């Protein structure tokens, strides 16, 4: 493959990724409108709705947080859960987890309950998780922030 052909192939790949991203974001906005969820959007494309406000401090990078959650697909399929009795601990900014989860945690206060929609690039990406989440999947997180330790 010549340098020119390689450059063209790379440009085509970038354009296709951009097209897929725009299509996914359009579907997310339509889904939110259909559900009538009062969600906000961050600059990364993360959509969120804090539907129960807690009284605790806001989570920050480097904090350890304990969360209960349900991860589902837009069709309602539940993929994973963690309960308040068996919460998941996350070290914000240091775990090898979905980048959207690090961002989401920093939008929450201790005691908050929130719903997040992660576009695929903030979730499990091109490959999915090789188990319950398919490749290029949009995922929905319902999260309760139980505890923060700085």
The domain locations on the chain are: 38-149
Picking from 46, 60, 33, the residue whose alpha carbon sits closest to that of residue 120 is 46
Q: What is the pLDDT of residue 111?
A: 97
Of 84, 57, 59, nearest to 142 (Cα)?
84
pLDDT digits (tens, 9 = 90+) for 29-43: 999 999 999 999 999
The answer to whether residue 3 scores a pLDDT higher than 90 is no
Pairwise CA distance, residues 38 & 32, whole Å:
8
The pLDDT assigned to 16 comes to 87
* pLDDT for 7: 86
- Average pLDDT in the 40-60 region? 97
* pLDDT average, residue stretch 90-116: 95
pLDDT more than 90, % of the chain? 82
- Count of helix runs (H) and strand runs (E) in the chain: 2, 7
Q: How far apart are CA 47 and CA 104, in angstroms?
A: 9
Identify the pLDDT of residue 17.
85
Q: What class does CATH assign to 38-149?
A: alpha beta
Q: Which two tokens stand for residue 54?
A: 């807690």
pLDDT digits 0-9 by tens, 55-87? 999 999 999 999 999 999 999 999 999 999 999
Region 107-125: mean pLDDT is 96
């Amino acid at each position: 493959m010549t340098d020119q052909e390689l450059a063209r192939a790379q440009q085509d790949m970038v354009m296709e990724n951009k097209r897929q991203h725009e299509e996914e974001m359009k579907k997310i906005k339509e889904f939110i409108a259909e559900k009538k969820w009062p969600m906000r959007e961050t600059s990364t494309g993360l959509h969120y709705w804090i539907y129960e406000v807690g009284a605790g401090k806001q989570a920050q990078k480097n904090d350890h947080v304990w969360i209960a959650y349900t991860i589902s697909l837009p069709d309602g399929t539940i993929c994973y859960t963690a309960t308040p009795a068996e919460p998941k601990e996350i070290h914000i900014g240091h775990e090898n987890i979905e980048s959207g989860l690090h961002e989401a945690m920093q939008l929450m206060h201790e005691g908050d309950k929130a719903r997040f929609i992660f576009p695929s690039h903030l979730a499990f990406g091109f490959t999915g998780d090789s188990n319950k989440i398919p490749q290029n999947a949009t995922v929905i997180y319902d999260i309760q922030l139980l505890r923060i330790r700085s």
